[in-house]
A = this chain, B = another copy of it.
């Protein structure tokens, strides 16, 4: 008997599952076509903000050293560790810092504590996209247009479970199951959906209790948190293409023209 009971999923049906942490990802990744990386506070919210604001490409790198190397080559580089901008970098993962005109049309290298590490773990998947509460409708609709099974990878906090990523994943899973009849067989997906359905309409006050949110509040990042927890402020789906995150629409145009 395999570790998951897939007997309940018909061959033609698409699956959506939630993986709570990068540490669990090896147990989930094998059967999936598309991976959506989620780091609500704040990496994937920042990536959505940047691309929606006209940033051309965001190159996610797992280490500060790699961000420094790209910076040395003349690339604009951003680095965050433990909620703060790393010394020697102009910005980190605050989504609001990506809304400036100076970044329009530019390439940005980005490393963060959790999000870019999760992206690095997912990079061998056939299709990698970025999800956040800010692009909930956009990512859900886009996913339904793609073939194959979907795994929603929560970046968590230093490999531990966190609530905001799980609730965002639960919201996406709920839409795919409800609107497009995706199936799920993992208990993690049932739990994420249940947590989302229990708090929808009230995500902000539920997450007051969240450990990571509390940590960010200690760093006076209240405005960022409000920004990241507001649904559907952007209509962009960042996808990984040749090592960089780009707006999925740009890619389609390029493919149609090519």
Contacts and interface: CB of A to CB of B under 8 A. Distances in A.
Interface residues of A, number: 38
A27 B211 contact: no
A187 B166 CA distance: 10
A181 interface: no
Interface stretch (A51-59, A98-106, A190-198): A190-198
A26 to B, nearest CB: 9
Interface string A186-218: 111011001100100000000001111011001
A83 B1 contact: yes
A227 interface: no
A161 B160 CA distance: 12
Quick one: which of A158, A185, A194 has the most chain B CB within 10 A?
A194
A116 interface: no
A21 B209 CA distance: 22
A214 B83 CA distance: 41
A195 B193 CA distance: 11
A45 interface: no
A24 B218 contact: no
Given A24-B21, A166-B191, A158 B3 contact: yes
The copy count of this chain in the complex is: 2
A75 B154 CA distance: 45
A149 interface: no
Interface string A120-142: 00000000000000000000000
Interface of A: 1, 3-5, 7-8, 20-21, 23-24, 27-28, 82-83, 157-163, 166, 185-188, 190-191, 194-195, 198, 209-212, 214-215, 218
Given A4-B160, A20-B20, 14 more contacts: A1-B215, A5-B211, A23-B23, A28-B160, A161-B187, A161-B188, A161-B191, A162-B187, A186-B211, A187-B211, A190-B209, A190-B210, A190-B211, A194-B195
The 5 closest A-B pairs by CB, nearest first: A3-B158, A163-B187, A161-B188, A1-B82, A162-B187
23 contacts: A1-B215, A3-B158, A3-B160, A5-B211, A8-B214, A23-B23, A23-B24, A24-B161, A27-B158, A27-B160, A28-B160, A157-B187, A160-B187, A161-B188, A162-B187, A163-B187, A163-B190, A163-B191, A187-B211, A190-B211, A191-B191, A194-B195, A198-B198
